Structure 1
Amino acid sequence: MSPILKPGTSWPDLYDRCARIAPEAFHHDRLLNHVGGKWQRTGTSGEATSPVDGSTIAGPPRLDAAQAEEAVAAAVEQHRKWAAIPLKERKSRTLAALAELHTHRDLLALLLVWEIGKPWRLATADVDRCIEGVEWYVEQIDPMLHGRTPLHGPISNIASWNYPMSVLMHAMLVQALAGNAVIAKAPTDGGVACLTLATALAVRHGLPLTLVSGSGRELSPVLVGSPDIGCLSFVGGRGVGGEIVTGLDATKRHVLEQEGLNCWGVWEFGDWDTLRPQIRKSFDYAKQRCTAYPRYVVQRSLFDSFLSVYLEAVREVTFGHPLAVTSPGDDLPALDFGPLITDAKAKELDDVVNEAITKGGVPLYRGTLSSGRFLPDQQMSAYFAPVAILAPPPSSPLHHAEPFGPVDTIVLVDTEAELLAAMNASNGALVASLSCDDEAVARRLAGEVNAFKFGYGKARSRGDRSEVFGGRGASWRGAFVGGELLVHAVTQGPPGERLYGNFPSYSLYPPT
């Protein structure tokens, strides 16, 4: 029997549900932005394309720079009033907003499926991590704010599309809980409907959230450069991050999370049964996340054993249409990933892979879309099957940068010096891991790897709640986050305070 779309999960069905729940934000013909405490039909409305099947979905309204300036001015006024509200009331309002998010958790997750292609399992996890993470901050924030005050102006958030809830909305709610008004630019490539619904549910309880959308080139000079902004929080790639830094006042509080080539080393190792499931899990969401592991650095003498477990793991990876079921009553499929964020990204990645192989990279594994789970005759242009390449040539982007797709590269080494050089290929990373049977050797080598978090035989992630997060080298600029560090990053402490982070004049890392 051919798969069918799970009844009740079509985009029109979901949009109608949103319009019934939040008619102020979801009009019949377009989404609205939230500025100055009101939903406004400003900007040029537009449509977007779902990566799931190429169908048309709601796109972000496009504001211009003048409208962005008006939004910042309105947020400044909100900030002045909100900063005077006692913490007890801020906590009460935040909990009320979280209760609404929890009520509509499944709808928020289904919006993520259509907008950014997340499988159901990962989409619900994104929403749950947001809600549970902010609940933790409500319980723990009192001592974190001792002796601290809100910043002089609202927090400006510019984030990538891959984690609209657990990264962007989570940060917005904690920033507001800490006493700041918040401005967020909806990602252009996906997630605007989910963020619109989440914002609509939160602002009903008086939280000072501004949601705008539009071209980054048009809005970034305002959202980055305005002297009224108290802090800039950015999550994205090094290219865009570098452009933002050029327009950023070095004295302004900032948090810039950028990419790095996260590597997994295999050295003097033999417990292959523990590595195999780690390789499979690394393909979650097609490696479209900042803590994905797209590079394995393997001791040459172990390559035959590594390749055996690697091929077993990659052949188990499942992908396809996230909402395709066999029967109407079936649960949604537990896929490892769905599409890439756009068909253009899939085409770009295919070109990069083919070029790397043409110039000498060895294709160890090339999956095909025929092994995926799809609806009959659906468009599949944004999908990309797993690929593994041995020894990508130095001229290839795969040699030194993360592909942000289900493509692994493998580099063989013979000495510890070569291992460390290969694992430090991108001048800093967010995470790294090493599979090594000798703990003493593993810890010695870990000290030479330029990554913020290090995993001994296991993957590291961004982390939740009290776990701090940052980056080394070019992977991070500004204050680190996580736990009390996130609260400190968006509040003013005592005179002369030196926050943990990478700043133009110093770098300071928390104890590990």
Structure 2
Amino acid sequence: MATTRNPAHLVVKSGTSWAEAWQRCLRVAPEAFRDDRVLNLWGSSWQADGLALPATSPVDGSPVAGPPRLDGATARQAVRASLDQHRAWRHVPLAERRSRVAATLDALAAHRELLALLLVWEIGKPWRLALADVDRAIDEVRWYVDGIEPMVAGRSPLDGPVSNIASWNYPMSVLVHAMLVQALAGNAVVAKTPTDGGVACLTLACALAAREGIPLTLVSGSGGELSQALVRAPEIGCVSFVGGRDTGAAVATAVADLGKRHILEQEGLNTWGIWNHTDWDSLAAVIPKLFDYGKQRCTAYPRFVVQRSLFDAFLTAYLPAARTLRVGHPLAVEHPDDPYPELDFGPLINAAKAKELHDQVAEAIDRGAVPLHRGRVEDARFLPGQDTSAYVQPVTILNPPPSSPLHHAEPFGPVDSVVLVDTEAELLAAMNASNGALVATLSTDDRATYDRLAPQIRAFKVGHGAPRSRGDREELFGGFGASWRGAFVGGDLLVRAVTLGPAGERLPGNFPDYHLMP
């Protein structure tokens, strides 16, 4: 067990312990929480089935609720039951669907602080970011509730429920958001809780939705055990996946073989290029923001590709900004009634991921990478003696060797790499190292240079001197290369992806033939 050397006397903020959060869950949704475990939701009721595995919080290694993992046969029963829900729900009038989803949003808003606190303990989000995840889910779905009529005009629900498999990092603003919009569009919804965390938060959110009659199914289990039911089952009308490329590739193969509708968002190495650039103040201002949540998000920028002649100016802007980062226990305060601490990030999702990154950095340096910055554990905010094995201080290295995963893959943690280039061709090659990404940015003073180079960067969204985000409303979102498969989303396209339109309709996306037949 790793322990802190930070001598500061800190305590957990009053009323925010896991035990207190758990007791609040038992009071708010006793149908979904029982003693020391959560239940699965399928067949329109909460089921005390599955093997409840132990789990620990990345915050301090203490026990939290683990996922009640189902076997494949039970998951198949759950999917068949979801199809029965779907056949009934698709005929519910739109006005009633809107009313029920709106009531769900009101309930989520009433319990936003509890949902956020669960995110802090389960996936290590600082309070500010945990609240933002909850609020964004509520706000985004309200946008759909307010404007759903023209989005579904002339369209109908799918022939089967939508199956959702998502990563752990944004349970509310990605997964719950998608589930409620899918239900609003007339579909029953199936979701698997992420293996690494978020089960209690998702359970509470689904309990509030189920009370309003939203046809949700929430189950836990290993991807390998449940994939036959959640991906390949004939009852499933669409598969929505957010996660890594290895698992995503298997899902992509399955849906392609079966001809299922699909939305598959996968990782990519998002890059920030620096070429003929002089506005260093703007870059320095954005560096700390790029470390939000320890870069554990799909639109993080872990790679800077820098013109060699600008390297000294880049370091002058980058290093002081990186040294301002605030890391530590998301609930550690000097006095119990103090406000939540202002942190850029807390722990990674678990100690295994932290060790993986530590090992990758050490190996890269051993093979020739140059360390440019390493955060000090002494500067972090920790409780005396707490387990810190899931924490990684920010690290920046120069030129990771081609054999290192840090050269070509997304680290999904607070590790930046810098690559130096001399020509525009080298700049583009380095920015396209991972065969497709979700976002990228090019900082250059000359707009004509940006306009010429940006189309050659294999990222779906490319910013000019500013970061790009996923977005959910007005803007199309997808990916290039191995970072995305299937339908693109954003605004009304999220609804179109999970509804049937005219025969032969062309849905924006990167399908082999660029369309899906209804």
Mapped pair 1:202 → 2:209: yes
Return the alpha-carbon distance in structure 1 between the equivalents of residues 483 and 218 of structure 2: 27
Return the alpha-carbon distance in structure 1 between the equivalents of residues 61 and 336 of structure 2: 22
State the AA in 1 paired with 2:270.
Answer: N
Equivalent of 1:30, from 20, 30, 37?
37
- Which stretch of the first structure deviates more once superposed, 374-383 or 363-372? 363-372
Equivalent of 2:129, from 119, 122, 143?
122
SS of the aligned residue for 1:211 comes to strand
Q: Is the 1:30–1:46 contact (alpha carbons within 8 Å) kept by the matching residues of 2?
A: no
Query: How big is the shift at 1:506?
Result: 3.4
Q: Which residue of 2 aligns with 1:85?
A: 92
Q: Is the 2:472–2:489 contact (alpha carbons within 8 Å) kept by the matching residues of 1?
A: no
Q: Which residue of 1 aligns with 2:4?
A: none
State the AA in 2 paired with 1:2.
Answer: H
Q: Which residue of 2 aligns with 1:278?
A: 286
Q: Which residue of 2 aligns with 1:442?
A: 450
Mapped pair 1:60 → 2:67: yes
Mapped pair 1:211 → 2:218: yes
Structure 1 residues 246-290: Cα deviation after superposition (integer angstroms, max 9, x where no partner): 332351100000011000001111011100121111100000001
Return the alpha-carbon distance in structure 2 between the equivalents of residues 139 and 118 of structure 1: 30
SS of the aligned residue for 2:38 comes to coil
Q: Which residue of 1 aligns with 2:341?
A: 333
Q: Which residue of 1 aligns with 2:5?
A: none
Return the alpha-carbon distance in structure 1 between the equivalents of residues 375 and 258 of structure 2: 46
Length-normalised TM-score, structure 2: 0.97
Structure 1 residues 170-194: Cα deviation after superposition (integer angstroms, max 9, x where no partner): 0000000000000000001000000
SS of the aligned residue for 2:103 comes to helix
Structure 1 residues 144-188: Cα deviation after superposition (integer angstroms, max 9, x where no partner): 111110000000000000000000000000000000000000001
User: How many residue pairs were aligned?
Assistant: 508
Q: Which residue of 2 aligns with 1:345?
A: 353
Q: Which residue of 2 aligns with 1:472?
A: 480
Return the alpha-carbon distance in structure 2 between the equivalents of residues 136 and 304 of structure 1: 46
The unaligned stretches of length 5 or more in structure 2 are 1-7
Q: Is the 2:232–2:258 contact (alpha carbons within 8 Å) kept by the matching residues of 1?
A: no
Q: Is the 1:429–1:471 contact (alpha carbons within 8 Å) kept by the matching residues of 2?
A: yes
State the AA in 2 paired with 1:330.
Answer: D
Query: How big is the shift at 1:504?
Result: 2.8
Return the alpha-carbon distance in structure 2 between the equivalents of residues 427 and 385 of structure 1: 28
Q: Is the 1:155–1:233 contact (alpha carbons within 8 Å) kept by the matching residues of 2?
A: yes
SS of the aligned residue for 2:419 comes to strand
Return the alpha-carbon distance in structure 2 between the equivalents of residues 204 and 384 of structure 1: 40
Q: Which residue of 2 aligns with 1:417?
A: 425
Runs of 4+ in 1 over 3 A off after TM superposition: none
Query: How big is the shift at 1:507?
Result: 8.0
Q: What percentage of residue pairs aligned between the two structures are identical?
A: 68
Q: Which residue of 1 aligns with 2:3?
A: none
Return the alpha-carbon distance in structure 1 between the equivalents of residues 471 and 355 of structure 2: 32
Q: Which residue of 2 aligns with 1:491?
A: 499
Q: Is the 1:32–1:40 contact (alpha carbons within 8 Å) kept by the matching residues of 2?
A: yes
1:184-199 superposed matches below 5 A: 184-199=191-206
Mapped pair 1:230 → 2:213: no
Root-mean-square deviation over aligned CA pairs: 1.0
1:245-256 superposed matches below 5 A: 245-248=252-255, 249-256=257-264
Length-normalised TM-score, structure 1: 0.98
Return the alpha-carbon distance in structure 1 between the equivalents of residues 305 and 202 of structure 2: 38
Query: How big is the shift at 1:234?
Result: 0.1
Structure 1 residues 85-128: Cα deviation after superposition (integer angstroms, max 9, x where no partner): 01111000000000000000000000000000000010000000
Return the alpha-carbon distance in structure 1 between the equivalents of residues 285 and 325 of structure 2: 10
SS of the aligned residue for 1:341 comes to coil
Return the alpha-carbon distance in structure 2 between the equivalents of residues 506 and 81 of structure 1: 31
State the AA in 1 paired with 2:325.
Answer: V
The unaligned stretches of length 5 or more in structure 1 are none
State the AA in 1 paired with 2:154.
Answer: G
1:224-373 superposed matches below 5 A: 224-248=231-255, 249-373=257-381
Equivalent of 1:2, from 2, 6, 9?
9
State the AA in 1 paired with 2:502.
Answer: P
Return the alpha-carbon distance in structure 1 between the equivalents of residues 494 and 442 of structure 2: 28
Q: Is the 2:508–2:514 contact (alpha carbons within 8 Å) kept by the matching residues of 1?
A: no
Q: Which residue of 1 aligns with 2:187?
A: 180
Return the alpha-carbon distance in structure 1 between the equivalents of residues 235 and 125 of structure 2: 36
- Which stretch of the first structure deviates more once superposed, 445-454 or 457-466? 457-466
Return the alpha-carbon distance in structure 2 between the equivalents of residues 370 and 153 of structure 1: 54
Return the alpha-carbon distance in structure 2 between the equivalents of residues 30 and 301 of structure 1: 58
Q: Is the 1:116–1:162 contact (alpha carbons within 8 Å) kept by the matching residues of 2?
A: yes
Return the alpha-carbon distance in structure 2 between the equivalents of residues 86 and 235 of structure 1: 30
